[in-house]
Copies of this chain bind each other. A is one copy, B any other.
Amino acid sequence: MAESTETGLPRAVAIAWGMQEVPQRGPSRGLSHERIVAAAVEIADADGLPAVTMQAVAKSLGFTTMSLYRYVSSKDELLRLMQDAALTVPETVRLDEDWRAALHQWAGLIRDAYRAHPWALSIPRDQTSVLMPNTMRTVDVALAAMRDLALDDAEKLGTIMVISQHAAGMVELELSLNDAGTLAITAEGAEMLGEVVTAERHPHLRALMARGHYVPLGGPSRDADGGADDAGADGAVPPPAEDVDEEYTFGLDLLLDGLAARAENR
């Protein structure tokens, strides 16, 4: 699957690290990996990942589609390069002394990166990703943040995994909610849901929804219906408030609490 060079490294890795030997004989090159990736990133930022087609990238550079294949062996390879390009960490990070604050900062950096390039979430992170320069740099910064934390290597790597996963997941959630307009449940829709989310099959969820969480039910539970929150023109119930931010912090703090507890037991 992953094209590999004769060095045994995936080609995308070699390219990203600048290990790719450049040909000597032929005409001089009109393009470069950097320009191609930059063009692709620009398109993705503007119109989303589906808009990144080989033709679109080539056209934005003023070249033909096929010319890209002189630099990139497949679209997949281009996507990997884009992913690494998206997940940068500022060159100089001033990390807090306190490991807890530092990890908070670090998680924020990852979160910001994903927010700046949401499409990066749609590119699967496989084993190749961990060898890419920006991933490695990011890991290094995380390790710096945990310098004074009494954990062994494996635990630190585990922590990095879990926190970055969390940050990515929360951004994904946040975006799918912001996407909204897409989905504002109408009063009728809410009522229909209220009928199928039965109390026998979903006792706890049902109760929680009646309390106004998860998805606001307008229906059969006739208590909060004559609502003051019905601001929409056609009775559309607005999506739950911007509490994704809270969930992000909540989850992160949960993890850090756990870390603190674990580190203390040493």
What is the interface of chain A, defined by CB distance below 8 A to chain B? 1-2, 4, 7-10, 14, 17-19, 122, 124-128, 130-131, 133, 136-137, 139-140, 143-144, 147, 153-159, 161-162, 165-166, 168-170, 172-173, 176-177, 179-180, 182-189, 192-193, 196-197, 201-206, 208, 211, 213-215, 236, 239, 243, 246-247, 250-251, 253-259, 261-262
Bound Cα distance A136, B198 (Å): 11
Q: A165-B166, A166-B166, A202-B137 are in contact. Are A153 and B211 (CB under 8 A)?
A: yes
Minimum C-beta distance from A232 to chain B (A) = 11
**Which of B144, B239, B247, B256 is the one whose CB lies under 8 Å from A158?**
B247
- Collect the chain B residues with CB atoms within 8 Å of residue A162's CB: 166, 169, 247, 250-251, 254-255
Q: A140-B205, A254-B258 are in contact. Are A126 and B161 (CB under 8 A)?
A: no
Q: Given A143-B208, A204-B144, check contact A19 B192 (CB 8 Å).
A: yes
A179-B1 contact in complex given A9-B193, A137-B201, C-beta closer than 8 Å: yes
Supposing A124-B122, A172-B125, A173-B161 touch, asked if A214 and B9 sit within 8 A by C-beta, the answer is: no
Please give the distance in Å from A258's CB to the nearest CB on chain B.
Answer: 3
Min CB–CB distance A141 → chain B (angstroms): 8
